Amino acid sequence: MASSEKWLFTHLGVALASLNVSQIQPTTVPVSSDGGHELLCSYSWTSQDQPTAYVPGEPSRYVSRPIPLSLLQDKGVYCIDQNSDKNPQYPFEVVFRAMKVMKPGFKFDDIDIVINRNTLRKLLQFCEDTSRHSWRIDLYLVGNTLVVERHEKSTIETLGKAPYTVFGHNFERAVTMPPTGMRNSVGHHRVLRYDLGGLNCAVRFEVDAAYRKTTDMSATVAQGGPQQPISEAQDSSASHRLTIVPHGIVTPHEQAAEIKSIRHGGVPLNVMLPQLWFGRTRYLIRGFHDWGDFSSIQVDNVNNELKQWEEADKNQDSLRKVAGILGQMREIVKNSETKSCAVIWKSDNPQDLQVFATAECVLPLPDGLIAEFWDKS
């Protein structure tokens, strides 16, 4: 085993299963976004040293910039998994602390899967045979709910070293501004509940920005007026690692936008659609450039393209396989002694997912939160 991949196999026990892509049983239930989605919670991490999140928080707002626009390349250290970076022991804890503010009394007994969008994309790429870099995810069973955590080699990355030249972070910073009272916000995350091939899923992801057209406010007024800010307070029941401050205005998910910087002739739209689809994100903001010289910024509502992507036979087959994998993984964890496992995909063995038991029983949340959000755990 290469030393660079030893991190994949830390704290593992016995091998439990090997899932070959050709043997994955797709769910018989069609995968469709027609059933809609429900916003369960949202929050914005802050730049404070003590891990602190505003709930519901607010995403940055997209602002139009004159073209041409010249930007420097991204340089420095950037976080690639804020939730694990802020709370490495319990990356999903912030979700349930936010739920206490936004949906007190909500129970997760009927939720089949709690998962990150990033993980769904990894599983989709496995089914499509488009994965490139080895990865690991961690699985836990709480009641009948499969909780799937990211497990990265590092939660940060350093940009600006040859041969990689990217402009995405600086472009996003150039075309957004923080909402009032959120200047120390460093990332807005939200959790949507929706059906995935018969599985009731709670999916977490980061939102780059809110794109607000003039019609957005009139629609809000027609539904009963603008939402009122939640008064500031602190959740005194949160663990010593995490502070929750109720602050911000709930942003309708219909305003969620993904921001991309793209070299002319670069990444095509169909490559970006899975990320938008799993996040039910309709707005795509693309800045087209040559080595940081941006010649156009394009804002598109890609709802129609997302529906066409979902319905294409090839993608429908892969999405059904993703749902099938999740169902199989839940059964494997149920039958394991520790009720916690790890799934590993290696680039030198691209057709298989290897499932291992963890060396000891591990819980994804503090005991108090499990007792509060599951009646049967």
Which amino acid does the sequence have at 46? T
The model carries a pTM of: 0.92
pLDDT at 376: 82
Token pair 């496995």 in the structure block, residue:
126
> Sorting pLDDT into bands at 50, 70 and 90, what band is 164?
confident
pLDDT at 239: 52
pLDDT at 165: 86
Contact between 292 and 319 (Cβ < 8 Å): no
Residue 268 confidence (pLDDT) above 90: yes
> Sorting pLDDT into bands at 50, 70 and 90, what band is 231?
very low
pLDDT at 322: 99
Residue 367 confidence (pLDDT) above 50: yes
Is 139 within the bounds of a domain?
yes
**Listing from the earlier edge strand, what are the strands of the sheet with 283-290?**
69-70, 293-301, 283-290, 256-263, 209-210, 61-62, 176-177
4-15: average pLDDT: 94
340-357: average pLDDT: 96
Residue 317 confidence (pLDDT) above 90: yes
pLDDT at 160: 82
Taking all residues of the chain, what is their mean pLDDT, rounded to a whole number?
Answer: 92
The domain of 127 spans: 3-251+313-373
Is 64 within the bounds of a domain?
yes
Upper half-sphere CA count for residue 329 (Cβ side, 13 Å): 31
Residue 240 confidence (pLDDT) above 60: no
pLDDT, tens only, 51-74: 999 999 999 999 999 999 999 999
pLDDT, tens only, 31-46: 999 999 999 999 999 9
Is 304 within the bounds of a domain?
no
> Sorting pLDDT into bands at 50, 70 and 90, what band is 230?
very low
Residue 162 confidence (pLDDT) above 80: no
Residue 24 confidence (pLDDT) above 60: yes
93-102, 130-139, 209-218: the lowest-pLDDT one: 209-218
247 to each of 38, 169, 252, how far by Cα in Å? 21, 25, 16
Is 267 within the bounds of a domain?
no
pLDDT at 4: 78
Residue 233 confidence (pLDDT) above 60: no
Q: Per DSSP, what are the bridge partners of residue 183?
A: none
The domain total for the chain is 1
pLDDT at 197: 98
pLDDT at 149: 99
